[in-house]
Structure 1
Amino acid sequence: MVRKLLFVATLSVASGFKVDQAPVKTALLQLRGGADATQIAKYVAYSTSAFMFIPAGRDVFSPGAEIMPDDDKLLGKMFTDKSKEGYMFMWNQWGVNWIMLSIMKILAVSSGSADFLKLGFATDVVTFAMMFKGWIPEFKPFVVMFGLELLALGKLAFA
């Protein structure tokens, strides 16, 4: 019994001194500056999620303010009746929801949680479908943004 314990202890100590070699970069990775597809997908997911803080923050702090291109057209096609009792709540909650979704996606990417990456991916799939179902031209920038995020989260969640 003692011999087995010493053997396991010796292996444990010896493995602690093992030096891992850096992975060999292929010529293609060296030409791209060393970034691989997974790293690029992470940066895209971080960027698109962080970008959503701009329009979502507007919805929380200054509902109806025109800060994005075509906001004058887009906001007019959405809930604009300031006389309604639920106007501020609707816009504030809309913004908070987008902020929370963005934070969830950022945390999913940083933690590498496959379940939450898949949830973020599914959210983007549904968002994409709803945008196409209720298509208006002002959605074009969001299609690009959510399309990039969809590809990035898909790469991270399923590859």
Structure 2
Amino acid sequence: MAPVPNGVYAIARPGEQLLTLQGPKDNVILVPSTGEPGEQEWQVDGLDNGNVHIRNLRQQSYLGYEGPPRVNTQVQGVPEPKEWALYQSSEPSTFFVVVPGGPVEGVELAVDLSLLKIIPHRIALRPLEVGDQGQAWRFEFHE
């Protein structure tokens, strides 16, 4: 059973920054509300194993990455679904979005801000730090 019900969500960080996909294969970025329908809305579908697929409504692309998961791999829109594990954080409706299947290069990888110092902020796979509430994402259900 997935930790959130199937449905459409905005996936946010504090300061109302939202996960955003502006083109089907673009890098995923973190920006304030763009007002563009579907660009910042994600269909979350639970799988039998408890993991989820996350698909952007506007682009019909999935939250994912190219090649094998590695530290600092850019998160982007991909045509085929990738599985993600959602780990509950200490806050309600807030989760770490993690590459399932255990450690890669000795660490679990989570969706987080890239180390690249550019605006808009890029999203990349970074080592999971469950004690870091700033690495968690708030899933805001949309009717």
After TM superposition, the score normalised by the length of structure 2 is 0.23
After TM superposition, the score normalised by the length of structure 1 is 0.21
Which of the pair is proportionally richer in helix? 1
Which of the pair is proportionally richer in strand? 2
